[in-house]
Structure 1
Amino acid sequence: MGIPKKRSEGAPMPLGSARFVVLGLTNGPGFYPNPCLADQVAWIRQRHLMAGAYSVVSYPEKRQFAEFGDQGPFEPRSRLGRLANIGYQQALFNIRTMQSAGLSVPAVWLDVEPVTGFDWPPDVEANAAVVRGAVTAYADQGLTVGVYSTATLWQRVVGDLRLSLPEWRAAGETSRAEALRRCGPDQMFQGGTAVLTQWVDARRDGSRDRDVTCPGGSTYLSLWFHQY
């Protein structure tokens, strides 16, 4: 769901035919909350839609190493441990953002991709530590975790990291049919089963991200969305 003046790109509101909406918890990188989240939750409540959540995970800024590197379950005396702790704190920050906005969901999707303006460094081992930390935090808080990406983007950020978590697969500016093709096992990027797939629908009012459940996925919507 779009964020006006987003650090990356905003998007128009969902179509009236939408059955579910996935809300962004971050406004760009980690530790930057979506300033519109409470209003978006209210919008969903009014329409009695199903709500899910996703968060962009990002490599930390320099100041965050000192602030969060020793806060978490990972070994703070190692660089990878500090990075994992920072990822852990990013996720806890997002959970507090959800709570303050009155958003209750059973799961969070972790968005792993390069983003202009706060891109990942080439060190995939370090990047993977941040991602692992975020996954651990959500799981520790009793949330189901899935990952959003593509095979190419995932490889660029975290290399061959395999988490075997459910997948939400992006297809880019294409069609619903092509997006559904991405549900196949040949599009797997970290060892998980496809639950959702997304395509960009270019319209006169702006490009809109549209999502559909993969075959059989609609049976399990309650695992990923809260009905308002």
Structure 2
Amino acid sequence: MRRTPVAVALLVAATLALASCGSSDRLDPDPDDAPPPSSAGGAAGEPGGSGDPGTGGGPTSVPVLPDDLEDAAALADLAALAEQEAGRAPRALDGPIVGGDISWPQCPRGMGIPERRTLGLPMPLPTARFVVMGLTNGPAFFPNPCLAEQVAWVRERGLLAGAYAVASYPDERTLAAYADEGPFDGGEEHDELRNVGYQQALFNITEMRRAGLPAPMVWVDVEPVRDWEWSADLEANAAVVEGLQRAYLDQGYEIGIYSTPSLWAAAVGDLALGVPEWRAAGPTSRAEALERCGADWVVQGGPAAMGQWVQGGRDLNVTCPGAEAEVLGWFHPF
């Protein structure tokens, strides 16, 4: 069928606009196949707590186009839809951008595992433009018990939504359960631990998708984990983090690192991933958090992304100078 130039232009505009608002189609493992939590007890630190400082949505929907594209009414509808959807596309952000992070401590009191009962701490300030949500109830394989409610809170306010998850060293039972469950075949030392890290990440991805959090990046929190302490073997600890990174990348997610130089070195030595860094400043100030964006505070060889400080019972965050252009690659705009 012959199409007029106007019809073709409108069709292209409408199709591009619709495609731009669809989410990426990543591999979706069956949530029922997620590894079960370890039965061992324990706890892990959370951003701000150390003092040292279903996602991805579904496939893009394809518009059903009318048979006769030369019909004036149909063309008008397509043009209007294209304009509407184009207006919803996220625009570049000016910085610095201020936000917050939350996890199990912000859940209503009395939830969670015995070692990490939730605290009912305050949610982010009204000035927050982004919120990074923790996927775990402390250590790996234990989910944040109110993640779905926190995602709904962020969605209702139209904020940028992000995700982070604590990395932790496995106990003997967890290691035995997942040592052979992953892409690492034992050809290298510590491959069993890499497989455990891989399963930690798959567990986190499943929880994120169940809660409806389509964040494009997961920040890996590496710090002391009380009751799930890192081992004395830094290379073994690093293998867990390497496995985590592999799983996130395999599933189409980028990663960043949350830590400080001293906490990172104490846990995984000189492991250098070169990924974006979310740097903790502890109970200090916004000025100190921005100071952490400097070259003196490099954690693992990656660029400075955000600084975090604790104030008034909240974890507050600010993007590092020059990082604004990357923000939409870290968060999902609700």
TM-score (norm 2): 0.65
2:275 is aligned, of 162, 165, 183, to: 165
- For 2:247 and 2:178, the matched residues in 1 are separated by 14
Q: Is the 8 A contact 1:107 1:223 kept in 2?
A: yes
Q: Which position in structure 2 is the counterpart of 1:42? A: 152
- Equivalent residue number for residue 223 of structure 2: 113
Aligned to 1:212: 318
Q: Is the 8 A contact 1:8 1:28 kept in 2?
A: no
| Inter-CA distance 65–2: structure 2 relative to 1 (3 Å threshold) | closer
Cα distance in structure 2, aligned partners of 1:154 and 1:223: 24
1:16 is aligned, of 126, 131, 137, to: 126
For the residue of structure 1 that corresponds to 2:190, the secondary structure is helix
SS where residue 139 of structure 1 aligns?
A: helix
Answer 1 or 2: which has greater strand percent. Answer: 1
Aligned-partner residue type, residue 159 of structure 1 = G
**Superposed, which structure 2 residues align to 1:54-133 within 5 Å?**
54-76=164-186, 80-133=190-243
Distance, in Å, in 2 between the alignment partners of 1:227 and 1:26 is 22
Percent identity between matched residues is: 57
User: Residue 223 of structure 2 contacts residue 264 of structure 2 at CA under 8 Å; is this kept in 1?
Assistant: yes
Question: What RMSD, in angstroms, separates the aligned Cα atoms of the two structures?
Answer: 1.5
Matched, 1:30 2:140: yes
Q: Which amino acid aligns with 1:108?
A: V
| Counterpart residue type for residue 227 of structure 1 | P
Distance 2:138 2:153 in 1: 21
- Describe the superposition over 1:192-220 as per-residue Cα deviations: whole angstroms up to 9, x where unpaired: 0011110111x2xxx21101100011222
Secondary structure of 1:54's counterpart equals strand
- Deviation >3 Å, runs of 4+: 8-11, 76-79
Give the Å deviation of 1:150: 0.3
Q: Please say if residues 103 and 144 of structure 2, whose CA atoms lie closer than 8 Å, have aligned partners that are also in contact.
A: no
Q: Cα gap change, 1:9/1:169 in structure 2, threshold over 3 Å: closer, same or farther? A: farther
Distance 1:8 1:218 in 2: 35
Match of 1:144 among 254, 278, 303: 254
**Cα shift readout 1:87-142 (whole Å, capped 9, x = no counterpart):** 00000000000111111011000000002222212211110000000011001111
Task: Give the CA deviation at 1:12.
Answer: 2.0
- Matched length: 224
Q: Aligned partners of 1:121 and 1:92: how far apart in 2?
A: 22
Deviations 1:8-42 (A, max 9, x none): 87542111111000000011111001111000011
Amino acid at match of 1:216: G
Q: Which of residues 233, 237, 245 in structure 2 aligns to 1:135? A: 245
CA distance in 1, matches of 2:327, 2:187: 41
Please report the TM-score for the alignment, with normalisation by the length of structure 1: 0.94
SS at match of 1:186: helix
Q: Is the 8 A contact 2:163 2:215 kept in 1?
A: yes
Does the residue aligned with 1:146 lie in a helix, a strand or coil?
strand
Q: Distance in 1 between matches of 2:117 and 2:149?
A: 20
